[in-house]
Each structure stands twice: as C-alpha cells, then as structure tokens.
Amino acid sequence: MSIDKPQYNKARDFLKILAIITMTADHASTVFLKEGSDIYNICQFFGNFTIVIMCFFITQGLRYTRSVLKYAERLLLWALISEISFYLLFGLQLNVLFTLLASLTIIYLLDRKGLLTALATLALFFPISLICDWSIIAPVFTIIFYVLQKKQKEQLSLILIPASYFILRTILYGETQVEYIAGTISVFLASAVIYALRIQAEEQGKGRIPGLVFYAYYPLHLTVILLFARLI
C-alpha cells in the first residue's frame, strides 16, 4: 500500500520569500538610502508587502497551530531577541513582532470571547501601539483577514485592507498625498497577491521554509544591517 506524501505548498514558501525580500529592502533602504530618492521610494513601496503578508500568516497561525500559547511564546521570544538591533537602527519603539503578538492575542480573543472583548482589547492596545512598528494598522489588518476568512468573503480584503491602511495612515501620520496613494496601492497589490494564492496557501500542505527560519530571519537581517551601518 502506497502512502501519499504531503503536498509541497509552493504558495506559502513564495509568500515567505516575498516577505523576506521586501522586508530587507524596506529596512536597508531606510538605513542606507537617501529619503526621497527613486530607489528609496521603490523599496518603501514594496516594503509594505511585508506587513500584509505577516498579518495573513498570523491568521493562518491561529487557525493551524497546535498551541496558541506556544505560538505566542515564540513570537515574544523573537520580538525580545530583535529589539536591541531594532532600537539601535530605528530608535525607541517596539519592533513589529510585538505588534504581531498583540494582533494574535486580539484575534484569539475574537475567536474565543467574541467581538466586544476583541474590540476592548484593541482599544486597550491603542496607546501602546503608538510606540510599536506598524502601530494599530497590523492588528486591524489581522482582524480583517480573520473575519473575512471565517465568513468566506476573502475578496473583500481587496477593498478593506487598502481602505483601512489609507484611513489609519491619514489619522496617525503626517504624510504627503503622494505617499498616502503610493502606500495604499502597494497594500492593495499585496492583498491581491495573497488573494490570488489564498487557496493554495491555506490548503495544500506545508512549505519547505519552516516558520522558525521565517521568524529567525527578522533579528538576523536587522543585526546584519546594523553591523554594516556601523562599519560604514
């Protein structure tokens, strides 16, 4: 009797590689390139892909993990490991893994305790989010992905993710109209990529890039950028 091997999930690996590349380009351009230059703007444009993909993976993590507590502990561990390099590069704020940990907590409460509890937690997190990378935006993205997956209306992410980005960036940050529009377009494109791959990413087995490698890359690339910045 033959035993079927688990399918190789190319979609999940593609999204992880895309997030790694765009995240590296984003952070490296922030540190090494002149703000406003063409290459800088391109790197920042595609850098927005990273947070959309990460929020999508948080919803998948809640859906498939055997232990939400252990998943949260891993996020916290990598967040703590990353924080020194992140602080030395970008100043006094908490790195995005802390924000993703908050996002996981909020959708876990949404799943187990209901909407009111989740919204109350989101409101309590808001003051802390002001010193977090991607502040309140990442939890909102994660909630949108989670709710739409539950309701099987993922197509609405093509509207709600860019719309929430535009609204929240307008409220929280003082940017030019061009920056708002460019950022919203990039977030829409990231949402479109995820939507196009969502079935494969959700249902066809595991990829060959372990989650450990994906999260470990975050502090690793920050450390490498920091070392190069110090040498230069």
pLDDT in tens, 52-94: 999 999 998 888 888 999 999 999 999 999 999 999 999 989 9
What's the pLDDT at 123? 87
Helix/strand/coil for 179: helix
Predicted pLDDT at 90? 94
pLDDT confidence of residue 2 = 39
Structure tokens at 195: 């939507």
Write out the DSSP string of 107-160. HHHHHHH-HHHHHHHHHHHHHHHTTBTTTTHHHHHHHHHHHHHHHT-GGGHHHH
| pLDDT attached to residue 4 | 44
Q: How far apart are CA 207 and CA 220, in angstroms?
A: 21
- Cα torsion angle, 76, 80, 82, 86, sign: positive
Q: CA-CA distance, 62 to 77, in Å (whole number)?
A: 17
Burial of 31 (0-12, 13-18, 19+ CB in 10 A): middle
pLDDT of residue 3: 41
The pLDDT of residue 199: 67
Those residues whose C-beta lies under 8 Å from the C-beta of residue 34, and which sit 6 or more positions away, are 40
Query: Which pLDDT does position 229 carry in this prediction?
Result: 93
User: pTM higher than 0.75, yes or no?
Assistant: yes
pLDDT in the model for residue 200: 67
**Residue 206 DSSP symbol:** B
Using 50 as the pLDDT threshold, list the residues of the chain that sit under it. 1-6
Count of beta carbons in the 10 Å neighbourhood of residue 14? 17
Helix (H) or strand (E) holding 189: helix 177-203
